[in-house]
Amino acid sequence: MAWWGRMFRWVGGSPDRTEETPASAVVGLHSQAGVWMDEQAALAMAPVYRAVTLISQSIAAMPLRIMEPMPDGSRRVANPEEMAVLWSRPNPEETRVEFIGRLLAHLLIWGDAFVFVAEPGPLGEARRLALIEPPRVDVGRDARGERLYVVDGRSWLEWRDWVRGSPRPGFVHLRIGSLDGLRGRGPVMAVLESLGVGRAAELYAARYFASAGVPGGIIYVSGRLSPEDARRLAEQFAAAHSGPNVHRVAVLDQGAKFESPGADPASLQLLDVRRFTVTEVARVFGIPPHLLGDASQSTSWGSGLEEQNRAFITLTLRPYIALLESALTDAFCAGTDYLIRIDPSALLQGNLQSRFAAYNAARQAGLMTINEIRDLEDLPGIGEAGDNVLTPLNMQVTQVPPRAGAEYIPEQ
């Protein structure tokens, strides 16, 4: 059976575990707001779902390139065939964008992502990658202090012999927010209690509107009515004052009195609670509120949307990009000069006019060639002529007066 199939058939077993091996990551809790919170309940909240998909899909859509060094010290895109699982398709069921997006979603929810080399090649190269859901994995240390992974109750050490001698490991663990160096702590699971308040507000709103909010009115009568008389009176009153008869004047006799109750204070504060939930989620994930649909308040992210978007890429996305680059480079480029780079430049581009003005300035200053500019715009090069660097004729080397006692030699 292929390793791909075995990964989904791990059951039971008697792994060699130690007391230091913790149980599986906590997957839920009963919040003080009175609702059960786990990753599914959290993702059912619109701000949380938007935050997770915004970060994961934004990075997954960025080009992933494998760079190799050049003799002049620069680097160029190589994308070697033996690493196609990284820049092309990691497995038959997922594209690269789907795979990277799901990997980042695991990090954002649980703080851990486990990448399994399901089908190593004869030289140790990865030919198929898969993700293991973090709740299925326990992480601890064995008697020698080495990190120990237990997947679905089976120790990784029991069947990883095939990877020995390989220049690349068969198991890659990425984590964020780790306090012990073993398990990560993602934004979602770290603030489940706080998210429980927002979830409780959503469930309360659903029940509130399901019961039409409050009764349409209450009829007080003097004396006691049987259940049948009370039902008949309510139906007759509703028929006379609903539909096309709404707002008709009601006339009651025999001491009957009608009152229309107003909304309770908790209901009036419902919108404030839900609005605060959006702000809280934006704070936890480090996302400008307007990207979660809240443009009602001023923000310290910048004075304009472009500044806020740039700050989002720099302060929020960049740490995840750096984590992916370093972890994937260490795991799959060991023993080579290759580097894995994720390019966020597409999200940093300004509007067409400012972008072309920047290109023109860089071209005239001799900082970029025509082919380099066309490559950034996904246009084909124009041949060797496009690699020429311009040198402004009206500029020359700045001549700094020599220090006392030093000989000044002008440039020829």
Residue 14 has pLDDT above 50, yes or no: no
What are the two backbone dihedrals, phi and then psi, of residue 359, each rounded to the nearest 5 degrees? -60, -45
Task: Kindly tell me the burial class for residue 92, based on how many C-beta atoms sit within 10 Å of its own C-beta (0-12, 13-18, 19 or more).
Answer: exposed
Per-residue model confidence as pLDDT tens digits over 151-164: 877 665 544 443 34
pLDDT of the residue at 161? 42
pLDDT tens, position by position, 287-327 = 988 888 877 765 555 556 667 778 888 899 999 999 999 99
Asked if pLDDT for residue 227 goes beyond 90, the answer is no
Region of poorest pLDDT, from 83-87, 161-165, 188-192, 274-278? 161-165
With CA atoms as reference, report the closest residue to 46 among 201, 186, 189: 201
* Gap between the Cα atoms of 1 and 190, Å rounded: 39
CA 85 to CA 331: how far, in whole Å?
Answer: 13
